[in-house]
Amino acid sequence: MPQEPEGVRITPTTIIPWRELTFRASRAGGPGGQHVNTSSTRIELWWDAGATTALGEEARARILQRLAGRLDSSRRLRLVAAGSRSQLQNREAAVERFRELIAGALRVRKPRRKTRPTAGSRERRIKAKKTRGLTKRLRRPPEIE
C-alpha cells in the first residue's frame, strides 16, 4: 500500500499525521549471524492515543476503550516489527499493522440482536436428554426388592 505524504490513512476520511508517530530503530534479536549484531533493523512505532488530534472525541474514546489492553499507563500504543533484515521493510510492516489495528478498533460494531431457540430445536434438545437418561438408566444394575 503506498504511503500518504500527510500521514497514515486509516479510513477514507481519517488520517493519522506522521508527526504523531514516533519511530525508533534498535538491534533485533534472534538468529542472523554477524549481521544481526551490527545493524539496527528492528523498528518500534509509538503513538499517543490519548493526545491525538487526528480523531474526534468519540473515535478517541472508542480507541482508548478497545485498545486498553495494548496501551501503556500514559495511553501510548507501541508496535514492534523485526521480521525483516531491512529497516525500511520493518517500518512499512509496523505502519501497516498500525493501520489495521486502528481501523479495526474504529469500526462500529452492529449491536447483537437477541434470538430465541426455535420450537423444533427445543424439542430435539429435550428428546436427546430423555434418550441419554434412558441409556444411563438401562446401564444400572436391576433393583432388588
Residues of the chain with pLDDT > 70, as a percent, come to 90
Give the angle 116-121-127 at the CA atoms, nearest 5°: 135
Give the angle 23-29-33 at the CA atoms, nearest 5°: 120
Q: What is the DSSP letter of 70?
A: G
Q: What is the pLDDT of residue 3?
A: 64
* pLDDT-based confidence at residue 112 (cuts at 50, 70, 90): very high
Supply the mean pLDDT for the chain. 87
Q: Region 113-125: what's the mean pLDDT?
A: 96
Q: What is the DSSP letter of 5?
A: S
Residue 133 to residue 136: CA distance in whole angstroms: 5
Q: What is the pLDDT of residue 34?
A: 63
pTM for this model (two decimals): 0.69
The tens digit of pLDDT for each residue in 94-107 reads 999 999 999 999 88
**More confident of the two residues 32 and 79:** 79
Domain ranges, ordered by start, for the chain: 7-106
CATH fold group of domain 7-106: Double Stranded RNA Binding Domain (3.30.160)
Residue 14 to residue 27: CA distance in whole angstroms: 33
The tens digit of pLDDT for each residue in 54-83 reads 888 898 999 899 988 988 888 899 999 888
90-97, Cβ contacts within 8 angstroms, sequence gap of 24 or more: 90/41, 90/42, 90/43, 91/23, 91/43, 91/45, 92/3, 93/43, 94/23, 94/43, 94/44, 94/45, 95/3, 95/8, 95/21, 95/45, 96/1
